[in-house]
Structure 1
């Protein structure tokens, strides 16, 4: 518990005959004194884990008699020259441990300290390539180079060693194939190459490491089969080959590995049946074969694995019935068999007394809810989602420890009545069932004081929503039902509510003003109901709202200025209402806003600019279509759209998505995308759109639109635009759909538009364009409807040949704006089809909570008992740590 600094004139440095100095595990929070170099007779120096910081003094290089040097320190730095001196001039040095020290230099080519036995340079920011210098040390027993991601190159030439016991190079940039010479480390008992960039096949010579106990190749790029020679490793306790590209059947090699405690083969491409010899491993504690393509039934003798504490067989294609022997394992706290093809619940369940989490979801289970599950008194999480389970109304189930219950997509016709006996419920999901009628009074009257998550979405619930007593709810999802009437006032008492989704119902009346004052609310989704009246003062008390969906109601009046308090607002969708207002330029001060949808309202007047320096800097989706906006197109406003100027993640080849808020299911919006009203389940950051169609804009198309280099969709149709199509639009090289139809544009179609190599849909119909249609890779794919109504356009695909026009004919502007916006069915809503880059879209997307991200509160609140749909990525991250 020593604290403070060590004074440079401390009498400590007068102890010239000192051989051993150990100040480890204290709390100095100071730099290492330079006078440490005066203790030249030191043999052992240990300053590890004492919160020293700053530069390690160069005077430490004076201590050339050191036998052991331990300076493990996260806040220290060591210059390259001193580092080389330690490894080259300290000829007596046997132990050097510098874990966490920022060295930021290459490994010396020559290491003269031939006495070295233990070297730990983990997490030291080593750079360059791994040289063979360490592998030439004659006495080396342990080498740790892990957590140095800037250490690149392949494995150097490996020299045979009968001294090396442990080699750890995990989480480095080491790449290439594993050489056959790896098998010459005859004394090796731990080999950790976890999380590198290794590829190719694991050589058969791995079977020569007959003393090995720990072998970890997880999170690499290995391919091919598991070498059968692994069966020779009779001392092996831990085998971790997960998250690679291994294929073929898992070889039945385990009968010889009787010391095996952990077997991790998950997240590969294994096929075939479950290796039957695994159940002979009587010492096995951890078994994970999940996320492969295993098929067939499970063996019946799982009861042999009496020491098993983790069993994960999820995300395979296993079938048949679940053997009852699985439920007789005495030490198992978590059992994951979800996402297989098991049919039928076991007819005889021997209960696991320690079982806390049981996930059988996404199988083909059917039949009655097993009465024998009642005996699982330790069960805290039960997931039977996506099966066909019937629950007898009279079944007596108490589940004294149950906290999380997931019964979504189970063909339920009623809310299970046994819930009256469950007192500690925290999470309840009975969504996607066939529950009809009103929510029963007994359910609304339950007092689940710890209930934080409740979803009854995607059912056929009707009637008025009763008052709830669930005052500690954080997540409430009732979407896709037929609930009616006003929102109950009890929602205002949910002080911790962060996510509220009442969308796709028949709620009516005005929405409670309290929703604008709930400081915890992050996501508010009331779209597609029958709410009326004016909007309440949302964010009246500077709330944390990041997502607001009010699309598809009958709201009137103006947008509340209180929205200025929503400093974290990212998505605002007010489309398809009757809001009568001018353009809310003041929303541009919200620096996080990425989606603004005001379509199909009564907005009017020009689009004015906001008065701040940074206006709408992150905006990606800008939809003002089907309003009464007028004036010229706002070139200055477009110039503020910085997020449309630079494509997020450009050049990485990776699609990124808007980060959902903590309590959000993935943000989704309805847009007119290549022809239809499409619901985007996730808003990609490459989805940059401007839709100003069906308004009364005048004047010319601004040339400055060319600066929006990441623009994906541009729709200016059904306005009163004049002038030429700017040739500068040919610089929008990400553009996939362009609709300029139903305007008064004149002149020729610019040849420069043929540069738009991603352009899938073009509509310039119903203008007064003339001249030949440009020829180009994309233009050759557009059909007649793209050009209809322009009497003086010619050339393919039109039948009219160029040079045949009446020279006396002068193009005339359109005489009437009363033409149907849906001329020939070829407006923007029928133009846009498909989508590149693999973005998943659908006419209606059934978004589920936590499909792509787990909220922080849930991670903290339910640690250790997550259902698979919420915990998979966290479980993988945890395995990385362990």
Structure 2
């Protein structure tokens, strides 16, 4: 009995110990996973900070914006939305209030600045009512991350921001509204922020008024950030950068006026791979470029760089540079002729919209995108090069886009595609003085999508042989000397994908080729996939190790997959009638047959062109009534002017049949809806007054 009692007592003791152990374990687990409890004074400071704002949905532009303050209800502020506390001390160390729909001002006495343990402060995408960044910001000395972008701050950036010596990331972008923008100079003492690895001051500029709000006039960049040797990402507005670790610098489209000294000695410490100084109002090539030998991407577009391209510019990064873009400047030419571009891996070369004279620069065989359009390239050509260099033809296996439009080039187009391996997709030599025939080797450019040779002096027959190019979508032959009848070729080739055809202002003769052009399958077929751009984007990118990858950018027109959208045969010598088969091109948006010698009536079938928004048959010899209703109701006099025998709306001349006015109602109802009845009516009138039957306009 006593033994049994002892066993029972022992079991109870063991059970009690087990329960105690479970309780202790559970308590330890609960303590380890529960959120720290915030300090009362910090909770109070946060609530007072909250009360200084009103919630306004329009204060944030981000689509996913929501007011985080609405969830600040529990006693433990460490559980509030947007708040992070230190796991050990319970102090608030992070305040994430970006896109929180906050509207109001932040003053120097704001309780925000009593949160002295803050390490992260994000207030972006709110509206702080044009208040200045308070000088009290300097009290948050533990901050490592500060984001004030897009929040309607105004005024001088305070000196005290330089007290935030632990900052590694500072973002004050997108304060470019004229009524809410930083102005003045960035404090020189920002160089005290030696731990900065990311600095973004971009887009503090109003593109409408062209007013610059954040000026960096007086100090050069070396003085401004001389101690920022850990800087890896810099997006502001430039001058001289001594950071050896900086390899990627994008300062484009800030519209600051930058001045570079001749002795930019410290710039040689930075070996850039990507450098974008577009729209920085540069007036000459930055001298520090002379020491760059590892560039892979150089963009100097939309500046005011003038004069000659100096020889030293042709010696930078010869073995590494695949992309050079210097369009929209005032460059006059090269210092030495002829120019053979030295960059052995060059893929994209853009010198468009300058004032360059002389011969075309000769690219290397690696070239993919060559754009020398809108210059004044002309003059005597060295015997060492041709007018359009044959090297372009030799490199055509890689060349994808060739744009030489709007120059003064003369001579002929050389044989560009020497074999069927060419990758050429677009050639534009319009607005020059090129002569002769189109090179038949173009038919070997099997990838061609666009041929633009308008506004030249070509003398050739219609290039029906281009119909074999199955990818060809745009063919522009206007304003040349093309001649003869547009006839069907011997072989069965029919421009299977053509979308835009412009043959205007040539010397084509004969009747409109209704049995040929208007039966092309591409012009009639409809594939319901919607509008798209015929384009491909230049997609050169830099990964973490800055490996270069390339694509190509060009844009031609908006089109509808599988149907002709635009047809221009104006200003030729075409005769005969307008084919009724044009009515089958149901996706046409623009039709121009003006300034020819066309006769007969305007076919009623053209009313089937429901998308037609531009129509011109002026200055022909057309007769009879203008079709009424549908799209024809929106065309004005200019669409029909210069046809003396044409009548009906919108012309002031009415159509008569033996003295009877055929008005809009008859034209709309009888002609449009009851053609059989109308013919019967006309025949009846003919029998009734047969001796005097005639059209009078």
Given the two structures, how large is their TM-score scaled by the length of structure 1?
0.54
1:664 to 1:199, Cα distance in 2 relative to 1, 3 A:
closer
Which of residues 478, 481, 486 is equivalent to 2:359?
486
Q: What 5-or-longer segments of structure 2 have no aligned partner?
A: 1-32, 36-61, 84-89, 205-212, 382-386, 540-549, 665-691
Deviation at 1:739, TM superposition (A): 0.9
| Native 8 Å contact 1:289 1:312 kept in 2 | yes
CA–CA separation in structure 2 for the residues paired with 1:743 and 1:726:
15
Task: Tell me the equivalent position of 1:354.
Answer: 230
2: distance between equivalents of 1:376 and 1:610? Answer: 65
Task: Identify the residue that residue 373 of structure 2 maps to in structure 1.
Answer: 503
The answer on whether the counterparts of 2:483 and 2:506 sit within 8 Å (CA) in structure 1 is yes
Q: In the alignment, which residue of structure 2 is the partner of 1:421? A: 291
Residue in 2 aligned with 1:380? 247
1:391 maps to: 260
Q: What is the CA–CA distance in structure 1 between the aligned matches of 2:518 and 2:567, rounded to whole Å?
A: 10
The alpha-carbon distance between structure 1 residues 488 and 755, as it changes in their structure 2 partners (threshold 3 A), is closer
1:599 aligns with 2:474: no
Distance in 2 separating the partners of 1:400 and 1:461: 30
Match of 1:685 in 2: 559
Partner residue of 1:272 out of 107, 122, 130: 130
Distance 1:656 1:443, change over 3 A: closer
Q: Residue 772 of structure 1 aligns with which residue?
A: 648
- CA change 1:545–1:275 in 2 (3 A) is farther
Determine the structure 1 residue equivalent to 2:46.
none
Q: Once the 2 structures are TM-superposed, how far is the Cα of residue 597 of structure 1 from its aligned partner? A: 0.8
Aligned to 2:597: 720
TM-score normalised by structure 2 residue count: 0.67
Which residue among 460, 464, 470 is the counterpart of 1:581? 460
Deviation at 1:764, TM superposition (A): 0.5
CA RMSD, Structure 1 to Structure 2 (Å): 4.3
Deviation at 1:748, TM superposition (A): 0.8
Match of 1:335 in 2: 199
Deviations 1:316-340 (A, max 9, x none): 3232222335444334333222221
Find the aligned partners of 2:603 and 2:139 in 1 and give their Cα distance.
Answer: 74
- Counterpart of 2:554 in structure 1 is 667
Q: 2:306 aligns with which of 420, 423, 436?
A: 436
- Looking at structure 2, the residues matched to 253 and 731 of structure 1 have their Cα atoms a distance apart, in angstroms, of 71
User: Is the Cα–Cα contact under 8 Å of residues 307 and 330 in structure 2 kept in the other structure?
Assistant: no
Unpaired segments ≥5 residues, structure 1? 1-162, 166-196, 217-232, 362-368, 670-682, 775-782, 797-806, 813-882
- d(CA) in 2 for partners of 1:486, 1:441: 16
| Counterpart-to-counterpart distance in 2, 1:740 and 1:713 | 11
Whole-angstrom CA distance in 1 between matches of 2:280 and 2:65: 43
Deviation readout 1:331-383 (Å, 9 max, x if unpaired): 4333222221212346351331121333334xxxxxxx85xx34322222334
Q: Match for residue 579 of structure 2?
A: 702
1:227-254 deviation digits (Å, cap 9, x = unpaired): xxxxxx9868584856x9x585587886
User: How much has 1:215 moved relative to structure 2?
Assistant: 5.9
Q: For this pair of structures, how many residues does the alignment match? A: 548
Kindly indicate whether the alpha-carbon contact (under 8 Å) linking 1:334 and 1:355 is maintained by their aligned counterparts in 2.
yes
Instruction: Measure how far apart 1:511 and its partner are.
Output: 1.2
Report the 3-state secondary structure (helix = DSSP H, G, I; strand = E; otherwise coil) of the residue aligned with 1:738: strand
Q: Is it true that 1:554 corresponds to 2:412 in the alignment? A: no
The equivalent residue for 1:68 is none
Correspondence 1:564 to 2:443: yes
* Residue matched to 2:175: 316
Q: What secondary structure does 1:685 align onto?
A: strand
Whether the 8 Å contact between 1:605 and 1:631 is mirrored in structure 2 is yes
Question: What CA distance in whole angstroms lies between the structure 2 residues aligned with 1:608 and 1:661?
Answer: 39
1-side partners of 2:147 and 2:532: how far apart? 30
Alignment of 1:235-274 (within 5 A): 237=94, 239=96, 246=101, 248=103, 255=113, 261=120, 263=122, 265=124, 272-273=130-131
Q: Residue in 1 aligned with 2:271?
A: 401
Distance 1:626 1:451 in 2: 43
> What's the counterpart of residue 13 of structure 2?
none
Tell me, in whole angstroms, the C-alpha distance in 1 between the residues paired with 2:276 and 2:633. Answer: 49
d(CA) in 1 for partners of 2:195, 2:527: 52
Q: How far apart, CA to CA, are the structure 2 residues paired with 1:327 and 1:611? A: 76
Equivalence for 1:301? 160
Q: C-alpha separation between the residues in 1 aligned to 2:444 and 2:120?
A: 56
Give the 3-state SS of the residue equivalent to 1:730 in structure 2: helix
Secondary structure at 1:548's aligned position in 2? strand
**Which deviations, in whole Å up to 9, do the C-alpha atoms of 1:4-37 show, x marking residues without a partner?**
xxxxxxxxxxxxxxxxxxxxxxxxxxxxxxxxxx
Whether the aligned pair in 1 keeps the contact of 2:68 and 2:97 (CA below 8 Å) is: no
1:448 match: 318
Distance 2:373 2:343 in 1: 20
Cα distance change, pair 360–685 in 1 and its aligned pair in 2 (3 A) = farther
Could you tell me whether the CA contact under 8 Å between 1:732 and 1:756 is conserved in 2? no
